[in-house]
Amino acid sequence: VERLRLTRKLNMNIFLAQLIESTNDTWGVDLFEVDALSNHRPLTHVALHLFKQRNILKQFQIRELTFFKFISAIEAKYRNNPYHNNIHATDVLQASHHMLNFSVFKNVFTELEVFAALFAAAVHDVDHPGVTNQYLINTNSDLAILYNDESVLENHHVTLAFQTLSTEGCDVLSTLNRKQHQMFRKMVISVVLATDMSKHIQHIGHLKTMVEIRRLSSSASSIIDPENAEDKLQILQSLVHCSDLSNPLKPLNLYLQWTDRIMEEFFRQGDLEKSLNLEVSPLCDRENSNICKSQMGFIDYVVHPLWEIWSRLTQPDCQPIMDILESNRVWIASQVLTEDDKHDG
């Protein structure tokens, strides 16, 4: 029996190593499997692997043990929410890594910009309480008071991330010089704050402008001017925001798990609102929800408008991902019909 147990353990570790290896260049890795096989430490395993694969630790002379301690401390500060947890952080990190490899970004970003974008993705929802900004504002929470109702969650995530750097043995930025540290901090703050859904429309506007300029100056082969730091920062903000809203563009079985999770998180908020005699927020009433219809709305009015312009900027590498969105939408639409019948009884 002992031999059987060890053999099974060995096979699990081999399977885990293969899954982690696939995060290098695969869209739609099953991070729920990575979570199960890694003793619920997907973020530490995947972040260490990707930062090493990109040679970031060597470039900035960051000791592997320091990075391990930092990312482990961050992972431990993610709460066990149904959706906003360490698996979601790993998902956004891996999607951001994947899209930084798009050919349109070749020779565009500096190592520091790549480091900042992936760092921001890994920490972007740390200590998320599983409720929305609006809920925190409506309940006069300490966080809303602290951040004056402005991007309350996002301010909290980035503050906590930088505070974690001063935990014993966790300062992954200690080898950066003053200028690098200043630029890194500016980029991480702006990328994490840009994940606030209230900035969603602005992302679309900036991307439309950039695509327009690309279309007009069709001469310029690579549309992104590596000298324009502002444009590059906006692209990194949109890259992480797109990764944050990438669930409907993942293989259907993964998309459906994320949908179940976000709905459970929203429903728990609705339960809290009911118990506090507050008005139940949209989509948060578990007694009265149409999951497929709300996902259709999410895809048609939030996700597709963003990804449509993002895919135009990043053509042709985004096409396979857009194809997944299209097929998922067709599947969801087919379920709406049957879901209606179910409700009609």
Residues identified as active-site:
84
Could you tell which of ligand S8Q, Zn ion, none binds residue 164, using a CB distance below 5 to 8 A set by kind? none
Q: Which of 91, 113, 125, 231 binds Zn ion (CB under 5 A)?
A: 125
Q: Which of 46, 92, 93, 262 binds ligand S8Q (CB under 6 A)?
A: 262
Name the segment binding ligand S8Q (CB under 6 A); options: 7-15, 99-107, 257-265, 335-343: 257-265
Name the segment binding ligand S8Q (CB under 6 A); options: 24-32, 41-49, 103-111, 290-298: 290-298
Helices 86-100 and 111-123 meet at what angle, rounded to 10?
A: 160
Residues 6+ apart with CB under 8 A from 95: 27, 121, 242, 243, 246
Name the segment binding ligand S8Q (CB under 6 A); options: 11-19, 98-106, 146-154, 291-299: 291-299
Tell me how far apart the alpha carbons of residues 50 and 56 are, in angstroms, rounded to a whole number.
Answer: 9
Specify the residue, 85 or 314, whose C-beta has the smaller distance to Zn ion: 85
Query: 119 in helix, strand or coil?
Result: helix
Tell me how far apart the alpha carbons of residues 166 and 120 are, in angstroms, rounded to a whole number.
Answer: 17
Specify the residue, 117 or 283, whose C-beta has the smaller distance to ligand S8Q: 283
User: Shortest approach of ligand S8Q to residue 34 CB, angstroms?
Assistant: 19
Could you tell which of Zn ion, ligand S8Q, none binds residue 316, using a CB distance below 5 to 8 A set by kind? none
Residue among 272, 302, 304, 297 nearest 132 (CA):
272
- With contact defined as beta carbons under 8 Å apart, do 67 and 57 qualify? yes
Tell me how far apart the alpha carbons of residues 64 and 34 are, in angstroms, rounded to a whole number.
Answer: 21
Binding mask 201-240 for ligand S8Q (x = CB under 6 A): ----------------------------------------
Could you tell which of ligand S8Q, Zn ion, none binds residue 333, using a CB distance below 5 to 8 A set by kind? none
Q: Per-residue b/e over 68-79, b at no fewer than 16 CB within 10 Å?
A: bbbbbbbbebbe
Give the count of residues interacting with ligand S8Q (CB under 6 A). Answer: 12
Tell me how far apart the alpha carbons of residues 268 and 285 are, in angstroms, rounded to a whole number.
Answer: 9
Name the segment binding ligand S8Q (CB under 6 A); options: 22-30, 143-151, 219-227, 256-264: 256-264
Specify the residue, 38 or 81, whose C-beta has the smaller distance to ligand S8Q: 81
Q: Which of 67, 105, 298, 307 binds ligand S8Q (CB under 6 A)?
A: 298
Residue among 77, 73, 117 nearest 244 (CA):
117
User: Shortest approach of ligand S8Q to residue 307 CB, angstroms?
Assistant: 13
Length reported for the chain: 345
User: Shortest approach of Zn ion to residue 249 CB, angstroms?
Assistant: 15
**H/E segment holding residue 2:** helix 2-22
**What's the start-to-end Cα distance of the chain, in Å?**
51
**Residue-wise DSSP of 184-199:** HHHHHHHHHHTTSGGG
Q: Which of 165, 302, 322, 336 binds ligand S8Q (CB under 6 A)?
A: 302
Which residues of this chain interact with Zn ion, rule CB under 5 A?
125, 244
Which residues of this chain interact with ligand S8Q, rule CB under 6 A?
197, 247, 258-259, 262, 266, 282-283, 294-295, 298, 302
